[in-house]
Amino acid sequence: MGSVRWAFRCGSWTPSRSDWLFAARCVQREEKDRIGQFVFAKDAKSAMAGRLLLRKFVCERMGIPWSEIKLERTPRGKPYLAAPLRINSDSVRFWSFNLSHQGDFAVLAAELGMQVGVDVMKITMPGSSSVPEFFRIMTRQFTEYEWSIIQSPSSEDQQLAAFYRHWALKESFIKAIGSGLGFNLQRVEFHLSSEPLTQGQVLRQTKMHLDEEEEEDWMFEPPSLPPPTTFTLLSFSELIASASPLTEEDPSYWESFQMKAEAPQRQRDTRTSV
Ligand SMILES: CC(C)(COP(=O)(O)OP(=O)(O)OC[C@H]1O[C@@H](n2cnc3c(N)ncnc32)[C@H](O)[C@@H]1OP(=O)(O)O)[C@@H](O)C(=O)NCCC(=O)NCCS
């Protein structure tokens, strides 16, 4: 099995005390501390789900016992398996994995023998500005050609959907190469498949141009409509099925989680796209 697509519905996850404390024990101490610092519960839950997805993947698909897994981040923030590195194991050398969490979902994509990047986007109305003003602020993120496609539908809803679809494609590429914010987004231009999105169908016709040359070596799986049908949706029990505690229970971690508001009040949502 050379391809993994997992999703966890962290937005509607309401962890019990024992679930949250157990989850906290099963991630590395520095990640537990980082998650504890989020102001809003939605961010803490999605980051926690992300860590559990990563460890579940490394444990179950790369065959490394949970307690031996040591994940670190590149200087630009991309998680990778730092230890144990069994030099002769193909599965350790050739798996690539990436994580995204936004809105209702935390998702993991992994590929054997190929670099992978994943991005999940929640389609939201711009908070305080109008859609044209929002697009104006974002001008430099897309090429002229991409803007012509994004702005071609007559309704603002459809324009926003096209905007976020392009956005997620750029992000997934940036995340596959691990470059983070430093990458000039004008260098990549997407030419989307003209097929309409339908439930459960993966479109692979999207092409990417890098520095004006079409790239043949990249494959894009643009969105399935929510829920993400191309991903296997995991329950919390499945998420922690292979987990084993790394640290002692810390009751204060639950107390501080309980004090957090779910999300900032002014968040206005429409729907979610992967
Ligand atoms: C991390 C980054 C690459 C994506 O951030 P994001 O879309 O807000 O967040 P996502 O939920 O998709 O991904 C976050 C996860 O990606 C992973 N990640 C972090 N840095 C990464 C990097 N440099 N490369 C790949 N993956 C990275 C992490 O697992 C992170 O989750 P964690 O911190 O809980 O472990 C962001 O730093 C970035 O640079 N974004 C580009 C911003 C931009 O201008 N976009 C315009 C697109 S048109």
Q: Model confidence over 164-199: pLDDT tens digits?
A: 999 999 999 999 999 987 889 999 999 987 666 555
Residue type, 238: E
Q: Under a CB-based contact definition with an 8 Å cutoff, are residues 135 and 150 in contact?
A: yes
CATH number of 3-273: 3.90.470.20
Q: Quick one: which H or E segment has residue 207? A: strand 207-210
For residue 171 and ligand 1, the question of a CB distance below 6 A is answered with: yes
* Amino acid 224: pLDDT: 61
- Close Cβ partners of 74 (under 8 Å, ≥ 6 residues apart): 80, 178
Q: Does residue 264 or residue 8 have the better pLDDT?
A: 8
The closest-lying atom of ligand 1 relative to the alpha carbon of residue 176 is: 25
For residue 31 and ligand 1, the question of a CB distance below 6 A is answered with: no
Q: Which protein residue's CA is at the shortest distance from atom 14 of ligand 1?
A: 100
Residue type, 50: G
* Amino acid 270: pLDDT: 42
For residue 77 and ligand 1, the question of a CB distance below 6 A is answered with: yes
Per-residue pLDDT, averaged over 29-44, amounts to: 97
Residues pairing with 6 in the sheet = 108, 232
Q: Model confidence over 48-77: pLDDT tens digits?
A: 999 999 999 999 999 999 999 999 999 999
For residue 185 and ligand 1, the question of a CB distance below 6 A is answered with: yes
Q: Model confidence over 122-153: pLDDT tens digits?
A: 888 877 789 999 999 999 999 999 999 999 99
For residue 32 and ligand 1, the question of a CB distance below 6 A is answered with: no
Residue 227 has pLDDT above 50, yes or no: yes
- Measured CA to CA, the distance from residue 119 to residue 125 in angstroms comes to 18
- Measured CA to CA, the distance from residue 232 to residue 230 in angstroms comes to 7
pTM tops 0.85? yes
Token digits for 102?
């936004």
Residue 245 has pLDDT above 70, yes or no: yes
For residue 189 and ligand 1, the question of a CB distance below 6 A is answered with: no
* Amino acid 1: pLDDT: 59
* Amino acid 181: pLDDT: 78
**Average pLDDT for the chain:** 89
> Domain ranges in the chain?
3-273
* Ligand 1 centroid, distance to 175 Cα (angstroms): 6
* Ligand 1 centroid, distance to 242 Cα (angstroms): 26
For residue 76 and ligand 1, the question of a CB distance below 6 A is answered with: yes
Q: What percent of the chain has pLDDT over 90?
A: 73
Closest by CA to 247, choosing from 20, 27, 19, 18, is: 27
The radius of gyration of the chain from alpha carbons, rounded to an integer in Å, stands at: 19
